[in-house]
Amino acid sequence: MENYSIYSLAKKYYPETVRIRHEIHMNPELGFEEFHTSKIITETLESIGIETHKNIAKTGVVGILRGNHPGKTILLRADMDALPINEETSLDYCSKVKNKMHACGHDGHTAGLLGAAMILSELKDYIHGNIKFLFQPAEETDGGALPMIEEGVLENPKVDAAFGCHLWGGTEEGKINIKHGPAMAAPDTFSFTIIGKGGHGAMPHLAIDPITICSQVINHIQSIISRNINPLQPAVISFGTINGGDTFNAIPSEVTVSGTIRTFDEKVRKTIPIAIENILKAQKVSHNCDYKFHLEEKFPALINDHKMTDFIKGSLSKVVGDENVLELEEPSMGGEDFAHFTKRVPSSFFFVGISKDLSDPVIHHHPSFQWDDKNLLKVSASFAQITMDFLKE
């Protein structure tokens, strides 16, 4: 094989990668609004001679690097969107947009993948096959992965394997976590409304109190995990909002609750909403109330392919050393729509550490979220090394 160093090339393009990261961080955009970010990506890809396709699923971008030799096709994915959070850091590249912030690392995913594109563009003569650099909108909200897939990003040329990563506060800086099999949960959402009969707080017997009924429903729902689900199957039900009533001495007519269901197993995923609605039906009979129930299935669980995860362990070891590539002990109950890729092609998703001290980890989705630019080197080099190893002749 020709003599080159992926990490040396990552260092070569590091200043430009940092500049891009800072530009994106200062101008955060929410899901399906990433117009400026997409423009930066498009201009960067085109400047290094990569065939570029834009406006996929509204703001998504795909760059295609066709190697000088025939071979397989690999897809590398980064997400682009920010969060509706007001930044509270003292960074000199702090967000310039009120109530919008890159508080999860997506600016680093995007800049890091562009860094990998710069590296791999320089290595085009050695590449057997094709590389798709996929920049995806709206991971934090509705999910841009599935719309991009529906618009054909896995075809022409047909993708043989896909890889993604996340800058991760739960992993120590300098280390990379991999996970065979289930890595992240299916993050479904639900809401229900208890419809009772409003009345005066002094005369509850003339009303149908949705607050009292709602409290019973919540307690019964919590027993689903402990009594309906196999304790060896991970599952979580959490409530996020309760809304009802306007004043202290009036019984409202309605109370609405919303929450999230996190699962890995598809049977468990289907069982829990049915159990919730059965509880609501029982309360309807018991209290002569009515209800509305809404379930929104989000992303499937992210299940890493065992063979692809074995493969990336070797590639990542070349970047950070074998002793710094560690298997996650437990999957995360967080959701990630890269799961749509793992369902369709052999794939693996890994976690690049950004916490200097795990006793005080970097907290995602927090106004003070920040991490060191130097971790961009790991992202760029990891993507590039995985690609060169996968596309060997």
Rounded to whole angstroms, what are the CA distances from 377 to 7, 18, 96, 373? 8, 9, 25, 8
β-strand pairing of 176-178 with 254-263: unpaired
Rounded to whole angstroms, what are the CA distances from 45 to 39, 105, 192, 371? 10, 21, 46, 25
pLDDT, tens only, 43-71: 999 999 999 999 999 999 999 999 989 99
pLDDT at position 1: 42
Mean pLDDT of all residues in the chain?
Answer: 97
CATH code for the part of the protein at 186-296: 3.30.70.360
3 has pLDDT over 90: no
By three-state DSSP, how is residue 313 classified?
helix
One of 34, 107, 139, 254 is an active-site residue; which one? Answer: 139
State which amino acid sits at residue 174: G
pLDDT, tens only, 310-363: 999 999 999 999 999 999 999 999 999 999 999 999 999 999 999 999 999 999
Annotated binding site for Mn(2+): 104, 106, 140, 166, 365
Beta bridge partners of 155: none
For the chain, the structural domain boundaries read: 6-185+301-390, 186-296
H helix count then E strand count, the chain: 9, 16
Tell me the DSSP string of 350-375. Answer: EEEEEES-TTSPPPTTSTT----TTH
pLDDT at position 4: 79
pTM of the model: 0.94
81 given a catalytic annotation:
yes
92 has pLDDT over 60: yes
Annotated binding site: 104, 106, 140, 166, 365
367 has pLDDT over 80: yes
Tell me the DSSP string of 319-350. Answer: HH-GGGEEE-SS-BSS--TTHHHHTTS-EEEE
Mean local confidence (pLDDT), 72-96: 98
* Tokens found for residue 372: 């060191």
142 given a catalytic annotation:
no
- Distance of alpha carbon 7 from alpha carbon 188, whole angstroms: 39
pLDDT, tens only, 251-305: 999 999 999 999 999 999 999 999 999 999 999 999 999 999 999 999 999 999 9
User: Does 6-185+301-390 carry CATH code 3.40.630.10?
Assistant: yes
Percent of the chain with pLDDT strictly greater than 70: 99
Query: CB-based burial of residue 26 (10 Å sphere; 0-12 exposed, 13-18 middle, 19+ buried)?
Result: middle
One of 81, 209, 254, 305 is an active-site residue; which one? Answer: 81
pLDDT at position 68: 87
Query: CB-based burial of residue 140 (10 Å sphere; 0-12 exposed, 13-18 middle, 19+ buried)?
Result: buried
